[in-house]
């Protein structure tokens, strides 16, 4: 039988009030934090989930649990930091509040199998993983050369080959997690667009990768007979229970880990660091690879979003990335690598500093004097001259009263020369927003315990990740105060 939500979200709200006063004669004695959760889920309308998932159920058989209630219940488990589905199913039987807020009558709640059946309906693939379980062993990636360094990689070569490839072969929005993304987009991301908190016409995105540890050891076993024949270190295929994960280098903690490499894009100009689009890559992937795959996947899933600014760290510092941004009219704010910056001759007589500022013949840093976006150039003037007194240098390098000026052209070196210039307060202020993605990743991993899921399939990791992102959006919604809400239901 197909799911049927009679009454929609209003029916859910009536149910919550009725059951709450039935099982809690004095519900106002509940803690303030509990009431905040009640208010959030009271206003969370997930009735669209039921209509979107109708075709994923059979017309025959018993009536299923409402998809909106199943999703709401899973959101509650993430909200209350319950990392085990088994534990959550048990709590629904023990705690009336959890069952009521989920939308289930206390005493008639779904079991463990019902939850996993619901997760299977969200996943557009017969297999729980994206890769076959039988695959060859892969050697460990190299660790960073110095403290805090990422896995060594030729980012120039990677970007010069993959950027044209993705442009010629656009990523199709047909991943196994496509339907989960649709639920997130229609009921959470679109709400912030409608409220004007995210402007898809002038979007500013910050991107960064973070390790997601899923296990202490790679779960694999032999499927060959080499060991019986005396060969203990063969290179034959192994059977992996988590084939989409492998071993990567965590440059922050300076250790190897097993799991995924999560690359996340966040709306850097949103007031609460709202996540926009994620992708789980294998742990061994470098940030540049993950960035390119995630970026072009995001473009296919959100074709109406027009990117205006792109904020990235030094792992994505490569000339092809700057050239792509210039062609697409995107302002790049990318930190420079610590090597091979500046100290080269520009226009024969001027040396360029690591932040793109020219030095005069005396070795003094020239003063920034504005920029011309239409001509794609920045202007610098003599450090020993001003508009009133002119040049007061003992050895002037120009007969002009104003002193020598230099225009740095973006076309000469789009990596070093930026608009706005790297030495300007405007650039520092904009690039400072890149930390929004780090704060978002911290909330997912620490506040919502992403890594505590203990799942063994990519399907479950994507379900967990997207529901955590839904919780992040829900936290940012404008809700009434506890006092105002309690007064409203008392007078109703």
Candidate from 30-39, 46-55, 227-236, 256-265 with smallest mean pLDDT = 227-236
Whole-angstrom distance, CA of residue 266 vs CA of residue 260 = 19
Structure tokens at 266: 């966040």
Residue 340 in this model has a pLDDT that exceeds 60: no
Backbone φ and ψ for 385, nearest 5 degrees, come out as -150, 150
Whole-angstrom distance, CA of residue 77 vs CA of residue 460 = 14
Region 156-178: what's the mean pLDDT? Answer: 93
Structure tokens at 16: 């919550």
Among 410, 329, 425, 413, smallest CA distance to 377 is for: 410
For the segment 399-448, what is each residue's pLDDT rounded down to a tens digit? 666 667 777 666 666 777 777 877 788 888 999 999 999 999 999 999 99
Per-position b or e across 406-432, b if 16+ CB within 10 A of its CB: bbbebeebbbbbbbbbbbbeebeebbe
Identify whether 420 is preceded by a cis peptide bond (ω within 30 of 0): yes
3-class SS of residue 426: helix
Strand-strand pairing, 331-334 and 307-312: parallel
Backbone φ and ψ for 347, nearest 5 degrees, come out as 55, 45
Structure tokens at 260: 């995924």
Structure tokens at 429: 């202020």
State the angle between helix axes of 32-43 and 482-491 in degrees (0 to 180), rounded to the nearest 10: 70
Cβ atoms of 251 and 149 within 8 Å: the answer is: yes
For the segment 435-457, what is each residue's pLDDT rounded down to a tens digit? 999 999 999 999 999 999 989 99
Cβ atoms of 85 and 112 within 8 Å: the answer is: yes
For residue 147, what pLDDT band results from cuts at 50, 70 and 90?
confident
Among 454, 466, 155, smallest CA distance to 320 is for: 155
At residue 463, the pLDDT reads: 97
Among 9, 274, 252, 245, smallest CA distance to 151 is for: 252
Cβ atoms of 368 and 378 within 8 Å: the answer is: yes
At residue 48, the pLDDT reads: 94
In terms of phi and psi (left: phi > 0; alpha: psi -120 to 50; beta: otherwise), the region of 359 is beta
Cβ atoms of 472 and 189 within 8 Å: the answer is: no
In terms of phi and psi (left: phi > 0; alpha: psi -120 to 50; beta: otherwise), the region of 458 is alpha
At residue 154, the pLDDT reads: 85
Query: What's this model's pTM, rounded to 2 decimal places?
Result: 0.89
3-class SS of residue 237: coil
Element (H, E) at 271: none
Among 117, 108, 127, 12, smallest CA distance to 57 is for: 117
For residue 358, what pLDDT band results from cuts at 50, 70 and 90?
confident
Whole-angstrom distance, CA of residue 102 vs CA of residue 92 = 9
Query: What is the residue whose two structure tokens read 């991107």?
Result: 207
For residue 233, what pLDDT band results from cuts at 50, 70 and 90?
confident
Residue 488 neighbours by CB under 8 Å, 6+ apart: 480
Query: What is the residue whose two structure tokens read 């639920």?
Result: 183
Residue 344 in this model has a pLDDT that exceeds 60: no
Whole-angstrom distance, CA of residue 189 vs CA of residue 194 = 9
Cβ atoms of 220 and 238 within 8 Å: the answer is: yes
Cβ atoms of 96 and 38 within 8 Å: the answer is: no
- Greatest CA separation for the chain: 94
Region 338-355: what's the mean pLDDT? Answer: 62
CA 2, chain centre distance (Å): 34
């Amino acid at each position: 039988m197909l799911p049927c939500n009679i009454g929609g979200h209003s029916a859910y709200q009536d149910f919550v009030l009725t059951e709450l006063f039935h099982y809690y004669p004095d519900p106002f004695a509940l803690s303030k934090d509990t009431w905040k959760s009640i208010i959030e889920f009271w206003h969370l309308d997930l009735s669209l989930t039921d209509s979107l998932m109708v075709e994923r159920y059979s017309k025959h058989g018993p009536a299923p649990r409402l998809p909106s209630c199943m999703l709401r219940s899973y959101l509650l488990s993430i909200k209350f930091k319950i990392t085990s589905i088994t534990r959550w199913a048990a709590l629904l039987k023990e705690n009336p509040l959890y069952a009521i807020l989920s939308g289930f009558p206390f005493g008639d709640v779904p079991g463990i199998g019902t939850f996993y059946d619901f997760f299977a309906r969200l996943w557009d693939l017969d297999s729980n993983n994206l890769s076959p379980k039988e695959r060859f062993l892969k050697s460990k990636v190299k660790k960073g050369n110095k403290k805090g360094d990422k896995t060594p990689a030729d980012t120039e070569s990677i970007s010069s080959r993959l950027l044209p490839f993705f442009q010629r072969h656009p990523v199709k929005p047909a991943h196994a997690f496509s339907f989960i993304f649709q639920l997130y987009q229609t009921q959470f991301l679109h709400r912030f667009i409608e409220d004007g908190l995210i402007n898809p016409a002038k979007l500013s995105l910050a991107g960064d990768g973070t390790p997601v540890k899923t296990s202490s050891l790679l779960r694999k076993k032999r499927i060959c007979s080499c060991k019986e024949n005396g060969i203990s270190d063969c290179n034959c295929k192994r059977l992996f229970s988590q084939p989409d994960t492998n071993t990567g280098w965590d440059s922050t903690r300076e250790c190897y880990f097993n799991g995924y490499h999560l690359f996340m894009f966040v709306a850097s100009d949103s007031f609460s660091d709202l996540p926009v689009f994620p992708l789980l890559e294998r742990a061994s992937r470098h940030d540049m690879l993950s960035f390119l795959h995630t970026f072009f996947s995001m473009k296919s899933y959100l074709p109406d979003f027009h990117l205006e600014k792109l904020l990235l760290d030094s792992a994505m510092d490569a000339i092809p990335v700057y050239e792509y941004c210039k062609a697409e009219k995107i302002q790049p704010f990318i930190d420079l690598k610590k090597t091979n910056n500046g100290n080269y001759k520009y226009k024969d007589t001027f040396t360029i500093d690591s932040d793109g500022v020219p030095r005069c013949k005396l070795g003094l840093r020239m003063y920034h004097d504005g920029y011309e976006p239409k001509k794609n150039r920045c202007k610098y003037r003599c450090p020993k001259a001003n508009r009133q007194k002119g040049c007061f240098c003992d050895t002037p390098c120009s007969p002009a009263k104003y002193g020598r000026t230099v225009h740095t052209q973006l076309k000469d070196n789009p990596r070093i020369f930026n608009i706005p210039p790297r030495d300007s307060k405007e650039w520092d202020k904009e690039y400072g927003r890149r930390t929004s993605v780090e704060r978002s990743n911290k909330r997912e991993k620490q506040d919502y315990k992403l890594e505590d899921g203990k799942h063994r399939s990519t399907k479950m990791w994507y379900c967990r990740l997207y529901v955590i992102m839904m919780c992040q959006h829900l936290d940012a919604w404008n809700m009434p105060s506890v006092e105002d809400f309690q007064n409203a239901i008392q007078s109703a």
